Amino acid sequence: MTEWFAMVMGAGLFVLMIPIIYRIFKGPTGFDRILGVNVIGTKTAVLLVIIGTLYGRVEMFVDFALTYSLLNFVAAIVVSRYLNRTISLKEMEAREKAKGGAKA
């Protein structure tokens, strides 16, 4: 019963991750992609607990889930910090184009 529940939940999570992967692939801005990666990273903690339930070693996999959610948080903070401290991406592209134009 528990194993069936874990399998159904895992399959449901996998199916529902497909739209988010579509958004990561297509996302008009870089922030959309980062947001999608963040969502999937949070869901990976749940997936790890599901895998632990299937293997019957939840007490081991919960540690992994905690570590994974921590690293996911660090990744989001790194990206936002970097984009906060630099000029906007559009301006950067414009400058690179101007440089390329000058060289050409």
Partner 1 sequence: MTDHSMICLLAAAVENGEVGFLPLKIIGFASGVVGLIFFLGTAVGMVRFPDFYTRMHAAGKGDTLSTMLMLGGFGLVTMEDFSVGSWLLLIKILAVILFIYLTTPTSSHALMRAAFEDDEMPMTEDDLKKSKRKGKRKK
Partner 2 sequence: MKILSLIPIIAIGGLLLWAAQDFPKWGDVESPASKSPVSSHFIGKTGVDTEVPNMVTAVLADYRGFDTMFETVVVFIAGMAVLAILKGSTRGNSRRKDHEVEAEPDLIVTNTVRLIVPVIQIFAFYVLAHGHVSPGGGFQGGVLMGASFILIALSWDLEKAVSRFSIERCMIVAALGIVIYGGIGLLSMMLGGEFLDYAELERVLPVSREMARYHAMLGVEIGVGFTVTAIMFALYANLSSEGSLKQGL
In 3D, which of 65, 24, 30, 63 has the Cα closest to residue 46? 65
Choose which of 82, 90, 102, 103 interacts with partner 2 (CB under 8 A): 82
Question: Looking at 7, 21, 87, 94, which residue binds partner 2 (CB under 8 A)?
Answer: 87
Q: 59-95 burial, b if ≥16 CB within 10 A, otherwise e? A: eebeeebeebbeebeeeeeebeeeeeeeeeeeeeeee
User: For residues 4 and 6, what is the distance between their CA atoms, to the nearest angstrom?
Assistant: 5
Size of the site for partner 1 (CB under 8 A): 50
Binding mask 37-76 for partner 1 (x = CB under 8 A): -xx--xx-xx--xx--x----xx--xx-xx--xx-xx--x
Shortest Å, Cβ 103 to partner 1: 26
Rg (CA), the chain: 19
Name, in order, each residue with C-beta under 8 angstroms of 40's C-beta and a sequence gap of 6 or more: 17, 20, 21, 24
Out of 25, 54, 89, 104, the residue judged to bind partner 1 by CB under 8 A: 89
Which of the choices partner 1, partner 2, none does residue 64 contact, using the CB cut-off of 5 to 8 A by kind?
Answer: partner 2
Site residues for partner 2 per CB under 8 A: 59-60, 63-64, 66-67, 70-71, 73-74, 77-78, 81-82, 84-87, 92, 95
